[in-house]
Amino acid sequence: MFSIRLHRARKAAGLSLRDLGELVGVSHAAIKKYEDGVAMPSSDILIRLSRALKVRTEYFFRPEPVAMEGIEYRKRSSLPKKRLDAITHEVIDQIERRIELENLFPQSPVKAFATVDGLPQLIEEMDGIEAVAERVRDAWELGFDPIPDLIDVLETYGIRVFMVDADADNKFDGLAARVSGMPIVVVGRHWPGDRQRFTLAHELGHLMLEGRLGSDLDEEMACNRFAGAFLFPRASVLQEMGEHRNAVELKELGLLKEEFGLSMAGILYRARDLGIISPAYRDEQTKLFRFKGWHIKEPGRDYPAEKAHIFEQLVFHALAEEYIGESKAAELMNMSLIQFRRVRSMESTEEPPRAAVNQ
């Protein structure tokens, strides 16, 4: 177990055997022996390994590592494999802590995911996806109002959501996978909220539309249509924008974005899909957005980022019920006992260190 975790952490850190050996003060051959499972480091070398790889020593001795199945990266082609490895390692670390925490409860604190009943067996036209999004909203009792906390909704229905600090390279567009059958979705922590929400709704579309699309429908385009319809349902679009428009003001798009958490460009797509504006007008506005650079950053204020608080809430739930003690709680939140006690006592209004609440 130690050997597998050491190898994975080294790869995630982008270090060669020789690089890690130099940081720790041993030969590259010694690191290889550790990774091959033919030798174990002494306690002082173990501490140096954890510091060099920026993981806690407990990381090396957790139960069997989880395996992510069906990994799909929503990424731009220029994202280096080394960066993908680091993101995957960060995600697996969060998942392992999440699973370990959930297993401490007498009964699972999170319900299992299940697709919504009453969905059509076969969808042959894009317009049919509108009804699927409406059915999911109806089953989850969301009505047609804006969804203020999308992560909370997905978590309530068994989709685990994780956040990573993948914002610096701006090339990571999200990740979806399954672990032991449970679906997970990963987004960047500091993305604008509308980008996070669209990615989350898009991945929900994959789960709800799986095996239902006709051969003529492109799955990615279908999931984009689902995402727009789920975030800004047809009835709300028609109420807010009317049935036919010759033009839409930029400020109007900004106000709708603030209300529904869908990008201005996404709202234009919704209006085109529902026949409110013509395809030619939408194309014209797309060219304007590109000319102005708004396809990269839209004008006005960013929609607030989503907050993932379920993991931290579960830690304190387990602590209150005495399923765990302070030391284990601090370990799960990836912080020192002193830091955890400050957070627990609410002595400081500052948020916990980023590594502590990645979920």
End-to-end CA distance of the chain, in Å?
A: 24
242 and 276 Cβ atoms separated by less than 8 Å = yes
Percent of the chain with pLDDT over 90: 59
pLDDT value at 36 more than 60: yes
User: Mean pLDDT over residues 125-130, rounded?
Assistant: 95
CA 284 to each of CA 244, 277, 281: distance values in angstroms, whole numbers, following the listed order: 17, 11, 5
> Residue 68 contacts by C-beta under 8 Å, 6 or more apart in sequence?
88, 91, 92, 95, 177, 178, 179, 184
pLDDT value at 134 more than 80: yes
Instruction: Return the number of other C-beta atoms located less than 10 Å from residue 52's C-beta.
Output: 19
> CA 216, 220, 225, 228: dihedral to nearest 10 degrees?
180
Average pLDDT, the chain: 88
Amino acid identity, position 175? L
**pLDDT at res. 230:** 98
**pLDDT at res. 29:** 92
Query: Tell me: the pLDDT tens digits for 321-354?
Result: 999 999 999 988 888 889 999 999 987 645 555 4
Query: Tell me: the pLDDT tens digits for 267-323?
Result: 999 999 999 999 999 999 999 999 999 999 999 989 999 988 899 999 999 999 999
In angstroms, rounded to a whole number, what is the distance separating the alpha carbons of residues 207 and 88? 21
**pLDDT at res. 51:** 87
Query: Tell me: the pLDDT tens digits for 6-16?
Result: 887 888 788 88
State how beta strands 172-179 and 182-188 pair.
antiparallel
pLDDT value at 225 more than 80: yes
**pLDDT at res. 359:** 60
In angstroms, rounded to a whole number, what is the distance separating the alpha carbons of residues 186 and 216? 29
**10 or 166: whose pLDDT is higher?**
10
Q: Which CATH superfamily is domain 1-65 in?
A: lambda repressor-like DNA-binding domains (1.10.260.40)
User: Mean pLDDT over residues 164-170, rounded?
Assistant: 65
pLDDT value at 224 more than 90: yes
Tokens linked to 165: 């600090």
**pLDDT at res. 322:** 93
Confidence at 166, pLDDT banded by 50, 70, 90: low
Least confident of 12-16, 92-96, 170-174, 296-300: 170-174
Confidence at 75, pLDDT banded by 50, 70, 90: low
Domain boundaries, the chain: 1-65, 67-308, 320-357
**pLDDT at res. 239:** 97
Instruction: Return the number of other C-beta atoms located less than 10 Å from residue 322's C-beta.
Output: 7
**pLDDT at res. 170:** 64
186 and 91 Cβ atoms separated by less than 8 Å = yes
**358 or 243: whose pLDDT is higher?**
243
In angstroms, rounded to a whole number, what is the distance separating the alpha carbons of residues 186 and 305? 14
**pLDDT at res. 258:** 97
302 and 292 Cβ atoms separated by less than 8 Å = no
205 and 223 Cβ atoms separated by less than 8 Å = yes
**pLDDT at res. 338:** 92
By CB atoms closer than 10 A (0-12, 13-18, 19+), residue 163 is: buried
pLDDT value at 142 more than 80: yes
Least confident of 77-81, 240-244, 273-277, 308-312: 77-81
159 and 183 Cβ atoms separated by less than 8 Å = yes
User: Full-prediction pTM beyond 0.75?
Assistant: yes
∠ CA(183), CA(186), CA(191), 5° rounding? 150
Q: Which CATH class is domain 67-308?
A: mainly alpha
**133 or 99: whose pLDDT is higher?**
133
Task: Kindly report the three-state secondary structure assignment for every residue of the chain.
Answer: CHHHHHHHHHHHHCCCHHHHHHHHCCCHHHHHHHHHCCCCCCHHHHHHHHHHHCCCHHHHHCCCCCCEEEEEEEECCCCCHHHHHHHHHHHHHHHHHHHHHHCCCCCCCCCCCCCCCCCCCCECCCCHHHHHHHHHHHHCCCCCCCCCCHHHHHHHCCCEEEEECCCCCCCEEEEEEEECCEEEEEEECCCCHHHHHHHHHHHHHHHHHCCCECCCCCHHHHHHHHHHHHHCCHHHHHHHHCCCCCCCCHHHHHHHHHHHCCCHHHHHHHHHHCCCCCHHHHHHHHHHHHHHCCCCCCCCCCCCCCCCCHHHHHHHHHHHCCCCCHHHHHHHCCCCHHHHHHHHHCCCCCCCCHHHHCC
Tokens linked to 202: 């898009």
